Chains A and B, each alone.
Chain A
Amino acid sequence: MSAGPDLARRPLRRAEGRLPLRRGPISLVLRPRALIVAGILLAVICLLTVVALGSGTYRLAPAEVLEVLRGGGRPMDRTVVLQWRLPRAVAAVALGALLGISGGLFQTVTRNPLASPDILGLANGAFTGMLLTLVLVSSSWPLLSAGAVLGGAATALLIWALARTGGVQGFRLIVVGIGVSAMLASLNTWMLLQIELETAMFAAAWGAGTLNGLTAPPVIGAVLCAVPLLAVLAVLGPSLRQLDLGDDMAAASGVRPARVRSAALLIAVALVSLATAVIGPVSFIALAAPQIARRLARAPHLSPMLSGLTGAALLLLSDLVAEHLLPLLARTREAVAAALPALAAHLPAGPAPVPLPAGVVTVSVGGLYLVLTLIQEIRRRA
């Protein structure tokens, strides 16, 4: 194109709410609103982390938690915060971020705001792999993780291969994904029916996605594996944004759409597999985080950074609720029974005060979010 170099030298039109920065061959577009949103999200994450580190049967005030994090505090406080609760909070932040980023990639590649890793059957595939490992091999943590990753990867490959005739199209990918996922979901239901009740409940909690009983080593492993993937993603970023223009336009600007899309999808699958290996298939974070982030920042495209921060905040909050909801309910019930003995006999027994899987909360909250968005949209139109 003869107009190419000329076009590049012309200053870009300054759209509202963004500051183009250029120095030599490097150019950046800064969006102040996105930066502010990122700052707020970070603050929320810090706040929630302090709350998470302080709550439980052994309670700590925020000041005590901060004292421990600064290196002081009583020995007991240090053990509780640093050894018991910190791995879980870090896992929620780190893996929530991975899920958010991965979801954003899926939605960019398929250009479908409702796409999530689930369209590749990853959740169901990982659960199938985990169940098969549990039934046939052993119930040790690393092996279950490996089984889940293998199951997820095999499913993704299968769907990829089935959807591949004549280039992967977003639409065909989704339909094939629905079909294979449904089949695997049935297989999982079937396997859950075949095993002992206690084992099945353990498996089902994992299948919903849970941070209960998490230890530090798998979290550290997952984060270490994610770093190089995120580095590749950072390099890929600009070409990925070109895809939003449509394949022809993207190709005209020097991007190879098919290649970029495959690479992005591969990274997305890898990121979600890492998260799934550690905490099981937590649903809705990957679906909702990029869209919430986009709304907050009012940005035209999905930003991986904001998707990641939103995902981290969402998972942290969901896990906080999941861990403490039922124990809190039981404590409230006891308090009421103690205060009003006459009423005690009439109170319903209530569910056992066990920590729930975080996935239970994410799916409910995600659904609620969808309902609310829908009502809001209807109001706006009315």
Chain B
Amino acid sequence: MIPRHRRPLGAAALLLGVLIAVALSLALGANPLPLALMWDTLQGGGTAESQFVLGTRGPRTLAGILAGACLGVAGALMQAFTRNPLADPGILGVNAGAAFAVALGVALLGLDHVSAMVWPAFGGALAVTVAVYLIGSSGRGAADPVRLTLAGVALGAVLSGVTTGLTLSNPEAFDAMRGWHAGSLLGRGGEVLLGVLPFALIGLIVAALLAPGLNAIALGEDVARAQGADVRLIRLGVVVAVTLLAGSATAIAGPISFIGLMVPHAARWVFGTDQRVILPVSAVLAPLIVLVSDVLGRLLIAPAEVPVGIVTAFVGAPVLVLLARRRRARGLGALR
């Protein structure tokens, strides 16, 4: 953890990192642009070719920023809410629901382009999270995190089984789904991003409102109640925000693994445990990592590409293993 008075410096470094990542994401790829030409093009000049290249890399970069920010914040919310440092926004069944709806859309309606899959994905994610919440919160008492997690895992398993069955009996659906499952930022048009943006923004705002309450919950629910926090309301808020955020991210990019898990960890590690700090840091750090992973994916086997979701798994998994190997991994001990 860095000392409190150095935090502004850390924040500045983060922002600089994002700027560099955005520049790299715009410049690098199968057809690299020199920085000067890129700058020219951004201001309206440049060649026809450079305009075309930026026309595809621009939305792709925006998609990375939006999906990344959503995943980072959703992950931080999930981990604070469940007080489980290994919680991932996908736990509530978002990915399984989105995948199921996309597979249905491809098999029954013949959707064939990633832009057309955004809304089924979003709707599926939303519907499944609501179902998970209903199962997890039925009966007496509020929805407690353990029950929600179990409900999410269980419902996710059912849906993933049905999705696999659906795709294995329908070659077109299989072909579409094997691409969607990898998680990619490619071919997401600007209008798609604009459509998802309002939901993501609402999610981010709700998350920002929740931060102080999450700090109280971190001390245990009884303490939180004693401090005057409305635990029930906070839980509902977290589920709403995570649904909107993870749903938006999955709708845009498909399932991108490990960002929601790793980024809040890193944020906690460097900036301490205050949720009012962790949430914004996650919102900035996650896009940085998504963009860098995306750029790596373009360069690794150029001129072909590795989808970003696969790169993030290979970046995130080793970090997780390292964390587990440290003798007293900070925060991980809470699980024992």
Contacts and interface: CB of A to CB of B under 8 A. Distances in A.
A172 to B, nearest CB: 5
A105 interface: no
B226 interface: no
B295 to A, nearest CB: 17
B257 A201 contact: no
A106 interface: no
A165 B86 CA distance: 20
A13 interface: no
Contact of A208 (B159, B168, B182): B168
A147 B148 CA distance: 38
B106 to A, nearest CB: 13
A375 B138 contact: yes
B231 interface: no
DSSP majority for the B interface? helix
Nearest to B309: A186
A211 interface: no
B169 A351 contact: yes
Interface in B112-150: 135-136, 138-141, 147, 150
A120 B141 CA distance: 35
A370 B161 contact: no
Contacts of A284: 157
Contacts of A352: 169-170
A175 interface: yes
B321 A176 contact: yes
Nearest to B167: A204
Q: Interface centre among A175, A186, A348, A363, by most B CB within 10 Å?
A: A186
B166 interface: yes
A216 interface: no
Interface stretch (B19-27, B189-197, B205-213, B311-319): B311-319
Nearest to B85: A175
Contacts of A189: 178, 181-182, 309-310
B4 interface: no
A213 interface: no
Nearest to B311: A186
B336 A201 contact: no
Nearest to B131: A371
A179 B321 CA distance: 6
Contact of B168 (A179, A192, A360): A360
B162 interface: yes
Contacts of A365: 161
Nearest to B258: A182
Contact of B314 (A162, A165, A186, A326): A186
A361 interface: yes
B150 to A, nearest CB: 6
Contacts of A186: 182, 257, 309-310, 313-314
A126 B107 CA distance: 29
A200 B164 CA distance: 13
A356 B167 CA distance: 10
23 contacts: A162-B321, A171-B336, A175-B323, A176-B325, A178-B320, A179-B317, A179-B318, A180-B317, A180-B321, A186-B309, A193-B178, A204-B167, A359-B161, A359-B164, A360-B165, A361-B165, A367-B153, A367-B155, A370-B153, A374-B136, A374-B151, A374-B154, A382-B140
Interface of B: 86, 107-108, 135-136, 138-141, 147, 150-151, 153-162, 164-171, 174-175, 178-179, 181-182, 257-258, 306-307, 309-310, 313-314, 316-318, 320-321, 323-325, 327, 332, 335-336
Interface of A: 162-163, 165-166, 171-172, 175-176, 178-180, 182-183, 185-187, 189-190, 192-193, 197-198, 200-201, 204-205, 208, 284, 326, 348, 351-352, 354, 356-357, 359-368, 370-371, 374-375, 378-379, 381-382
